[in-house]
């Protein structure tokens, strides 16, 4: 994970220095509170679609009303567990556990977004986001008799918005984003800090 973070920021810094002056970009980190729509309806098993995650991002101001932002998201994990006889419904079909098992789905993504912004008072801005992200998810199944996993990836859209407060080179923001993962949604509330260079 540390290697991924270093690689991510190294690539962004190289891109920044090639395209803008040093004082014209920002980097930041957001805490994410995620709700992952798995499409599962719980009947008598244990379903947990909420988890915490984080986002690393960098942005380039195009003008005073628009930024371009690149970001990496770790959405955390959703899980479904049960014992023999527990039931759940997926896409209209009811399934039943025949042994004790846990199904877990995790997802990450990397994307680019246009970030329009509008100053509502000195140092306080409303912002929106509309972008495209490349995501990867992993489904793992663990039971008393078998362990298996499968990967899936794709490219979809995401959008969101929030409010940002600036104090010289330091910015704080809180917002909401919705990420599409091939028809399944991840809803994220973000709270974070960024630094302007």
Structure-token pair, residue 126: 């409303």
pTM metric for this prediction? 0.82
Strand partners, 179: 158, 186
Q: Which of 26, 5, 30, 6 is nearest to 16 (CA)?
A: 26
157, 181 Cβ separation under 8 angstroms = no
Higher pLDDT, 6 or 68: 68
Q: What is the mean pLDDT of residues 26-33?
A: 97
For residue 96, what pLDDT is reported? 87
Integer Cα distance of 96 and 189 in angstroms:
33
User: 3-state SS of the chain: helix, strand, coil percent to 5?
Assistant: 10, 75, 15
b or e along 10-40 (b: 16 or more beta carbons within 10 Å of the residue's beta carbon)?
A: eebeeebeeeeeeeebbbbebebebbbebeb
In the numeric block, the tokens 């995650």 are attached to: 53
pLDDT tens-digit series, residues 152-185: 999 999 999 999 999 888 999 999 999 999 988 9
pLDDT tens-digit series, residues 42-58: 889 899 999 999 999 99
Q: Which domains does the chain have, with CATH numbers?
A: 2-196 (2.40.160.20)
Torsion on CA atoms 126, 5, 137, 144, rounded to nearest 10: -130
- Determine the distance from the C-alpha atom of residue 173 to the mean position of all C-alpha atoms in its chain, rounded to a whole number: 16
Integer Cα distance of 38 and 90 in angstroms:
9
């Amino acid at each position: 994970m540390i290697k991924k973070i270093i690689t991510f920021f190294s690539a962004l810094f190289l891109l920044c220095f090639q395209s803008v002056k040093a004082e014209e970009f920002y980097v930041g980190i957001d805490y994410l509170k995620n709700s992952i729509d798995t499409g599962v309806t719980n009947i008598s098993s244990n379903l947990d679609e909420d988890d915490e995650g984080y986002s690393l991002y960098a942005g380039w101001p195009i003008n005073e009303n628009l930024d371009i932002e690149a970001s990496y998201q770790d959405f955390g994990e959703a899980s479904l567990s049960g014992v023999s006889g527990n039931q759940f419904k997926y896409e209209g079909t009811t399934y039943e556990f025949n042994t004790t098992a846990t199904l877990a789905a995790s997802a990450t993504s990397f994307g680019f977004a246009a970030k329009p912004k509008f100053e509502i008072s000195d140092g306080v801005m409303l912002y929106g986001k509309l972008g495209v992200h490349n995501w990867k998810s992993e489904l793992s199944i663990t039971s008393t008799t078998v362990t298996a996993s499968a990967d899936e990836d794709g490219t979809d859209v995401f959008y969101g918005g929030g409010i940002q407060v600036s104090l010289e080179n330091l910015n704080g923001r809180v917002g909401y984003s919705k990420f599409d993962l091939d028809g399944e949604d991840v809803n994220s509330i973000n709270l974070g800090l960024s630094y302007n260079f």
